């Protein structure tokens, strides 16, 4: 089974793929320089395509855990 390419770092790529399997969605870069992960509860976080910091994976996991623990946000009205 092949996974989609989310990041140039194999560990960050695997972590993002695992989150996507858990119900998170990935929003393309758009105008920003980084793609965004959207938690099932509606919160968003950016993640690096090319992490330069050795703590990037640890920070990604920490931020995802914190966002997942927050209550759901109200849907935005268009």
Tell me what pLDDT residue 11 has: 95
CA distances from 55 to 5, 40, 61, 73, 74 (A): 20, 25, 10, 28, 32
The model's pLDDT over 23-70, given as tens digits with 9 standing for 90+, comes to 999 998 778 788 999 999 999 999 988 999 999 999 999 999 999 999
């Amino acid at each position: 089974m092949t996974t989609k390419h989310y990041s140039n770092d194999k560990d960050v790529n695997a972590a993002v793929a695992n989150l996507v399997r858990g119900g998170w969605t990935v929003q393309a870069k758009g105008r920003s320089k980084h793609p965004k992960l959207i938690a099932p509860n509606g919160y968003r976080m950016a993640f690096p395509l090319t992490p330069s910091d050795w703590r990037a994976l640890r920070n990604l996991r920490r931020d995802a855990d914190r966002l997942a623990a927050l209550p759901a946000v109200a849907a935005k009205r268009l």
